[in-house]
A and B are shown apart, each in its own frame.
Chain A
Amino acid sequence: MEEIVFGIGITALAGALATVAGAAEDTESDIGSQGDPNSQVQLAPQMGYIHRIFNKAVAGEPPAYGLWVALGAGLAWAFMAMQINPILAIVLGSALAVFVQGVYATTAYLGRTASLAKFGQPVYIDILKSMTTVTMAHAFVAIFTTVAMCHLMISALGHPFPLPLLGLVWGIALGAAGSATGNPFYGKERQYQEQKFGAGVPISASGNIVRYAEAGQRNSLDNGFFSAKLGGPASGICFGLIVFFELWRTVVFEELNIWGPIIVGVVVILIFAIIDRYIEVWARKNFGPYTTPEEASS
């Protein structure tokens, strides 16, 4: 019994770390216009809309975060193998992984923007200087918390995988959670504030992203504020719940039966599918222009 209580405590702590990781990850990727919003940021200059928004497409978020977290975990593992204290090892590993992330971010922005020279999109060096550091700071929080969570799973819950492999798996999961949950807030709505709410992105509006802010010109730090308010916390809850339920079902039900966690996993997925469907139908009824065809045209 005590073992289960201890396991649930670790599960809650891992879930809390994952929530922070998800929030930081989504804010980081939105400041860099990675994932969902990227195609429109990339397209805008070609349609004549020159902008001052950071465009760092390293890859999709899942592979990119797979690398950052696996790298942080791998370096932390190597430092621990060199008899360095685990907390220091995780901090050092995450810091070095963030260095790699920052370099990738700068080369992505320079490359993409230089290749758009034909459309008159200049390289804004101040964007590179001010926004890369902000994404690096958020990436550090995301990588550190995820690697720390993986280390907890191994050292406290006895997970059999080595740290870098676990880092790869949870890094991909983290990127997927942020990409699926948080990015649409920015990519589908904030970039298209001028369109009707919930209208999606019609082809005629492609590339016509919001480029001017309340005062002056919008840059990606404004998107950071926005993401920290909505998309980030949503991604955090998403990733936190994933980690919490994943560990909780194993810790609590493995004792009863070896199939217990699997059955509970299926039940949890079904419950969430029902909740999601209910929320979607409710939102369609109450918001957005597409409840009925007549309202859509009004």
Chain B
Amino acid sequence: MSVKIEVGAGGIPHNQILIYGLVGSLVLIYLTYLNTYFQTEYFAFFGGLAAVVALLWGTDTIKHLCSYGLGTGVPSAGMIALGSGVVAALFGATTGPFAPIVTIIIAAIIGAVAGLMANAVVRMDIPVMVVSLIELAIVGAMTVLGLAAMACGTFEFLGMITGTVTFLGFTMLTYETSVIGGGIIAVIFMLGAIAIQHPFNACLGPGEQQDRTLMLAAECGFLSMIPVAIISFAFIGAYAALIALVISIIGWLYTYQQYIELSKRDAYAWLDAQPIMEPEEGGA
């Protein structure tokens, strides 16, 4: 299982995407801290943008990892990424303002352990396994932290486990109506896990092109932002959530339309209500 197949050669080198993804998602997550600084909620949408950047990087990592003949393993790679990531993100969130940095470190450790297990114990012997799983765990953690920050306006643990409920005119703090207590973290987990594996899973094949796959990754990221923005109406102010929703919808419309254009460019033919075009040498 360690024969490397070149998929979609060319394009932006992976290390460049790695650096942009890591720095970009870190900076964007820290921009949500402006909420705490200015005591508002309007900057929550930066969390979603951090998730989009992280997903772009994660998609390229999955492409590298899965070029070692892991066809059906593409969705599994997304699951392990977010599975490692959600643990790291929840642990990191307890460390206050240092949360994103601690999250990255913890995710790297979890990813390394998972990678070493896969190579040494399960004996998959894939050269890039350890590095890829470290990257995927960080991507998963940043996605969870970013989308959770988008839903409740902060990446700090206390904000994720307290929600407000209005009862007979009194506002009370409860655990049940929070991001973690209400189970919204499970929705974020699945949104991230499907969004990270979908771009490469959907575009794999001999005609895979990096720009099309990455455009789909951005589209999946913005698409995941839309439900999180709607859920955030339950946690943050209506105007802040509305800003997040509008940004998600604009980003999604743009990337979706670009993705369709790129698919049109790469497709063999773009037909509407036409019969099967049998190949000339006769397949059937």
Interface on A for B, CB 8 Å cutoff? 42, 47-52, 57-60, 63-64, 66-67, 70-71, 73-75, 77-79, 81-82, 96-97, 100, 103-104, 107-108, 110-126, 161-168, 208, 211, 217
Contacts and interface: CB of A to CB of B under 8 A. Distances in A.
B194 A165 contact: no
Contacts of A217: 275-276
B237 interface: no
Contact of A67 (B194, B263, B283): B194
B198 interface: yes
Contacts of A164: 182-184, 186-187
A165 B186 contact: yes
A117 B283 contact: no
Contacts of B12: none
A81 B185 CA distance: 15
A162 to B, nearest CB: 3
Contact of B273 (A82, A115, A126, A167): A126
B260 interface: yes
A262 to B, nearest CB: 25
A59 B194 contact: yes
Q: Chain A interface mostly helix, strand, loop or mixed? A: helix
Given A48-B284, A165-B186, A217-B276, A103 B256 contact: yes
B237 to A, nearest CB: 13
Given A48-B284, A67-B190, A123-B269, A74 B183 contact: yes
Nearest to B180: A162
Contacts of B189: 168
B206 interface: yes
Interface residues of B, number: 65
B25 interface: no
Given A59-B78, A67-B191, A49 B207 contact: no
A111 B234 contact: no
Contacts of A63: 75, 78-79, 190, 193-194
A82 B207 contact: no
Contacts of A121: 268
A116 B206 CA distance: 6
A59 B263 contact: no
Given A71-B227, A78-B234, A116-B206, A47 B267 contact: no
B269 A71 contact: no
Nearest to A109: B202
Given A59-B198, A162-B176, A122 B277 contact: yes
Given A82-B233, A117-B207, 14 more contacts: A48-B281, A50-B283, A58-B202, A67-B194, A70-B187, A71-B187, A71-B227, A96-B227, A100-B223, A103-B219, A114-B203, A115-B206, A121-B268, A125-B272
A48 B283 contact: yes
B96 interface: no
A104 B263 contact: no
Nearest to A163: B183
Contacts of B63: none
A59 B184 contact: no
Given A50-B277, A74-B187, A115-B204, A110 B259 contact: yes
A51 B262 CA distance: 22
A162 B269 contact: no
B230 interface: yes
B32 interface: no
A49 B284 contact: yes
B69 interface: no
Contacts of B276: 50-52, 211, 217
A100 to B, nearest CB: 6
B201 interface: yes
B141 interface: no
Contacts of A125: 270-273
A116 B183 contact: no
A124 B202 contact: no
Given A71-B190, A116-B205, A117-B207, A122 B267 contact: yes
A17 to B, nearest CB: 20
B79 to A, nearest CB: 7
Question: Which 6 pairs across A and B sit closest by C-beta, in order of nearness?
Answer: A48-B283, A115-B205, A74-B187, A162-B183, A111-B202, A122-B269
B13 interface: no
A124 B227 contact: no
